[in-house]
Structure 1
Amino acid sequence: MENTTKIIFPYDQSLVKELPLINKNDIENILITAQNLFNDQSNWIPAFKRIEILEKAASIMNDRSEELIHIAISEGGKPYKDSKAEILRAIKGVKLAAEHISQLKGEQIPMGLTEASVNRIAFTSKEPIGVVAAVSAFNHPLNLAVHQIATAVAAGCPVIFKPSSNTPLSGLALAEILKEAGLPEGWLQVVLCDNETAELLVTDSRIHFFSFIGSAKVGWSLKSKLAPGTRSALEHGGAAPVIVESDADFSEMIPDLVKGGFYHAGQVCVSVQKVYVNEEICDRFVEQFSEAVNKLIVGNPFDEKTDVGSLITPKEVNRVEEWVNEAIEEGAKLITGGKRISDTTFQPTVLFNPSEDSKVSTNEIFGPVVCIYPFANREEAIKKANALEVHFQAAVFTKNIDIALDTTKKLNATAVMVNDNTAFRVDWMPFGGRDASGLGMGGISYTINDMTREKLFVFKSKSL
């Protein structure tokens, strides 16, 4: 009997669809298909054709945006307004990929600078790197698929895409759309499989580039098993620290941080998690922040009024509940929330001054929980913000340019937002973690460049 995966609507646990999983024996054919396309250069899709395919795909996505929003909500449980924003971003991402194809170019390398290098002209060109294996996460099922698939198409690479088994429908919908837009057979293969089969796939020597979005434990483990020569990019999570100084603008900051902390129920790799607030304004901050959090509407993600939907599985609700209870036992003060609403939803929660050793302080929460810590000395707060092994995006709120610059310089992060929340992202900016939070930078153009490699041409001639 063949194995299957059940796609469940996270909010009420109803069955959306059941799909077959491939097994280990299917991997060989999938790899042969991709490798054969890449090895025969007459198969390569010319740049003008790749632009055409991606532009057509963006247009089809635009026409079907409501259907794509519906699919994303039904499998991922992200509220309607946020899923709509995701689908619009995904369409823009496909357009960005199409646009970047014209920027794939090499450069002239000067010759004649020494006697040994006269009578030569040299230049580089960009080629597709080869077969791409991409493993994705559940939290932005369409947009992450675009970041891993549209980029490979733009670079001219055959791509094997493994979506999260919780949320494969958006990736499959994108594959259908690309096929309709003219992507030839075999250039995109979507595989649904268990972790063991996925490991067999990505560690095969025929994979030239491995793109991973998901948990650090899995990502670093897979990277350690890659075949020699396989390049990789990993994107994990962080604990998104924020420094709030006493001159911060409350009217802008409060709604911004609430959105950054509770968007998609905190299931975002740069979700606001640890907020260090100057003790001079801490009471006021806690009061205004918790007041705004209490106004958030938790409910069915299909309801357009819902601010916070469900967590991806009931198991995650149990975990968040355990972590919150543990933090309270270890000295945190519960300001608001702290309880499950149902098997699938958890109250938006604010904890005050949990121990720096509690799980909510040391691990990525990936749930609707924000922790607030008072500080007297900003240097100490920055030190605490930098204390973990994970470093992704961070933020500082102040109207003082010197404080903003000083804090930005000292926070260990790949990006520091000034007077904006840690979850800010547009798809053309570099985006990724450093240290334990990841390897390389994502962002449409950055990923396309990663999926190419350079070739140097050197011509020698007496005529030069």
Structure 2
Amino acid sequence: MSAELPHIPLLVPGIESSATSVTVSAPWDLTPIATVARADSATVEKALANAYALYRNRDAWLPMRERVQILTRAMGIMRERREKMATDAAREGGKPLADSLIEVDRAIDSVHICIDELRSRAGEVIPMCITESSKNRVAFTRPEPVGVVVAVSAFNHPLNLIAHQVAPAVATGCPVIVKPADKTALSCLSFVQILREAGLPPEWCQAVVTADRKDATAMVTDERVGFFSFIGSAKVGWTLRSQLAPGTRCALEHGGAAPVIVTEGADLDRAVPSLAKGGFYHAGQVCVSVQRVFTPKAMAREFATRLADAAKKMKVGDPTLADTEIGPLITPGEVDRVHQWVEEAKAAGAEVLCGGEKLTDTAYKPTVLLNPPADAKVSVQEIFGPVVCVYGYDDMDEAIDRANSLPFSFQAAVFGQDIDKLMRVSSRLDASAVMVNDHTAFRVDWMPFAGLKQSGHGVGGVPHSMHEMQIQKMTVIHSPEIKD
């Protein structure tokens, strides 16, 4: 059967790989979709050599006007293929079609943001002629590419995560090598092919699906890498960071266990639908998914019951269908893990208000737990599944302390109507961003997006990634004709 599947060839010019291909399957029904050529160690070396040779040859750098033209054409191609790209992403990644359409739109906008940044980004003039030693001088900076970018990405947003890593590299003039998640490689490879179709020379953006983790590590830690962009598990990301070559910059984006504080007097008609979306969107497989909701004890049961009622109405099913709201988890093993965590919390005293069981081998019912123990896995680790925990509190500051008690810090949220309470919670939560009367998973692609503590390093978001992928080279001109 696999011989009849579409095959995506190696996207590294000038070499053939001896590694066996990998099959990408749909997480909903485990049906094979396509096979993808994988890179062996020689392929990885060739990709690095291609990219580094471009970076070292300044005469070969792509002028900004050409980069703008390429990205503009790429946007046009993506708009023409919007529905197909969304369906393909939904099928390989499991995110429902309605949300995958939004993801494609975001990816297109991410490319647009790169173009806007190029039109507006410039260096600065450094003051001179202020002291005797600085007289007769003028100084200014201009942005230059930092070097070869190696990007390693996660499965959960198979197109837009890639756009966030690759488009800024192309925009800033950095040769880029991207390694997508094996399970969702197709959207990445499609994006790379679109860039090439839009006129980007192949060596400027290469994609590798490695056959061996050692090869991936060797690529990331190579001394020719100028910038490493990683989206994925904390364990892998922090380990790779510790092995980077001296001088390699990096940005790491991991997960968390996003907290929400619901204050007394909050509008539950507004809060419940928002938190249901933020908790069960993409079956909870989002790094800032709503996970821990702290409410006043007197309203905890009412809130949790209303959240459970909302969850029960959400349709779980085939992600390629237009009316599906929650799709599968990425693998059956993840379904088993989530169920085990829920069962452990239940045995320790958590009350299961809805869900708590497998729908199929690949999908889990959206689950609301009331007052799981503080030391349960669902309370202290990232669930990355369709499970939301609700806890009652007596004192708001105590709830803030509980929200801040984990070694993760990413986005958080607070709901209420008392501006003083909202500001108190917002200013005291450990978070890089606090959403007021909105769920923790809100994001637009031009805003900064940063994990703190164990949740990440550096700042993401398209403009911020572009900044990280550039250096500001200063030029100082000395001339007696410069008087002031």
The one of 103, 110, 120 aligned to 1:103? 120
Paired letter, 1:170: S
What do residues 234-291 of structure 1 show as CA deviations (whole Å, max 9, x unaligned)? 0001101000012111121111100000000000000000000112322221221111
In structure 2, distance between residues paired with 1:26 and 1:300: 36
Tell me, in whole angstroms, the C-alpha distance in 2 between the residues paired with 1:344 and 1:366: 14
CA contact under 8 A between 2:228 and 2:251: conserved in structure 1? yes
Q: Does 1:300 align with 2:318?
A: yes
Could you tell me whether the CA contact under 8 Å between 1:128 and 1:452 is conserved in 2? yes
Residue 172 of structure 1 is matched in structure 2 by 189
User: 1:411 and 2:433 equivalent?
Assistant: no
How far is 1:104 from its partner? 2.7
TM-score by length of 2: 0.95
2:51 aligns with 34
Residues 356-378 of structure 1: CA distance to partner in whole angstroms, max 9, x if unpaired? 11110111000000000000100
Residue matched to 1:140 = 157
Amino acid at match of 1:4: S
Aligned to 2:250: 232
Q: How does 1:263-412 map to 2 (within 5 A)?
A: 263-412=281-430
Confirm or deny: 8 A CA contact 1:135 1:161 kept in the other structure: yes
Contact 1:149 1:161 in 2 (8 A): yes
Matches of 2:202 and 2:156, distance apart in 1: 28
The answer to whether the 8 Å contact 1:241/1:272 transfers is: yes
Structure 1 counterpart of 2:138, from 109, 116, 121: 121
Question: 2:441 is matched with which residue?
Answer: 423
RMSD: 0.9
Aligned partners of 1:125 and 1:150: how far apart in 2? 20
Query: Aligned equivalents of 2:20 and 2:201: distance in 1?
Result: 28
In structure 2, what is the equivalent of residue 83 of structure 1?
100
> Shift of the alpha carbon at 1:123?
0.8
Whole-angstrom CA distance in 2 between matches of 1:168 and 1:252:
37
| Residue deviations 1:314-341 (CA, integer Å, cap 9, x gap) | 0100100111011111111111110011
Partner of 2:28: 11
Runs of 4+ in 1 over 3 A off after TM superposition: none
What runs of 5+ residues in structure 1 fail to find an aligned partner?
none
Provide the C-alpha distance between the structure 1 equivalents of 2:19 and 2:131, rounded to a whole number of angstroms. 66
User: What amino acid does structure 2 have at the position aligned with 1:7?
Assistant: V
8 Å Cα contact 1:51/1:99 also seen in 2: no
**Amino acid paired to 1:322:** Q
Query: For residues 417 and 202 of structure 2, what CA distance do their matches in structure 1 show?
Result: 55
Q: Distance in 1 between matches of 2:53 and 2:99?
A: 40
Q: Match for 1:153 among 158, 170, 175?
A: 170
2:13 aligned partner = none
Matched, 1:74 2:91: yes
Distance in structure 1 (CA, Å) of the matches to 2:448 and 2:36:
35
* C-alpha contact 2:136 2:478 (8 A) present in aligned 1: yes
Distance in 2 of aligned mates of 1:419 and 1:169: 36
In 2, Cα distance between equivalents of 1:8 and 1:325:
28
Deviations 1:426-461 (A, max 9, x none): 001001201110011111100011100011111111
CA distance in 1, matches of 2:173, 2:47: 18
Aligned length: 464
Equivalent AA in structure 2 for residue 364 of structure 1: E
**Which amino acid in the other structure matches residue 411 of structure 1?**
L
For 1:147 and 1:115, the matched residues in 2 are separated by 46
> Alignment partner for residue 73 of structure 2, among 42, 56, 60?
56
- The percent of aligned pairs where both chains have the same amino acid is 50
Amino acid at match of 1:255: P
Tell me the distance in 1 between the aligned counterparts of 2:217 and 2:373.
Answer: 37
Give, as a single letter, the amino acid of the residue that structure 2 aligns with 1:164.
A
Partner of 2:11: none
Q: Return the alpha-carbon distance in structure 1 between the equivalents of residues 373 and 23 of structure 2.
A: 39
What CA distance in whole angstroms lies between the structure 1 residues aligned with 2:340 and 2:146? 45
Aligned pair partner of 1:441 in 414, 434, 459? 459
Q: Which amino acid aligns with 1:337?
A: G
One-letter amino acid of the counterpart of residue 246, structure 1? E
> Could you say what secondary structure the match of 1:424 adopts?
coil
1:43 aligns with 2:66: no
CA–CA separation in structure 1 for the residues paired with 2:322 and 2:339: 26
Matched, 1:253 2:253: no
Q: Is the Cα–Cα contact under 8 Å of residues 396 and 416 in structure 1 kept in the other structure? A: yes
Question: 1:42 deviation in Å?
Answer: 1.1
Structure 2 unaligned regions, length at least 5: 1-17
Equivalent of 1:197 in 193, 215, 222: 215
Q: Is the 8 A contact 2:44 2:208 kept in 1?
A: no
- Distance across 1 between alignment mates of 2:335 and 2:248: 37
Normalized against structure 1, the TM-score is what? 0.99
CA distance in 1, matches of 2:465, 2:314: 35
1:50-100 deviation per Cα after TM superposition (whole angstroms, max 9, x unaligned): 111111101110000111012101210111111111111111111111111
Corresponding residue SS for 2:183: coil
What SS does the aligned partner of 2:225 have?
A: coil
Distance 1:30 1:190 in 2: 8
Higher mean C-alpha deviation, range 452-461 or range 199-208 = 452-461
Contact 1:246 1:280 in 2 (8 A): no
Structure 2 distance, partners of 1:268, 1:176, is 26
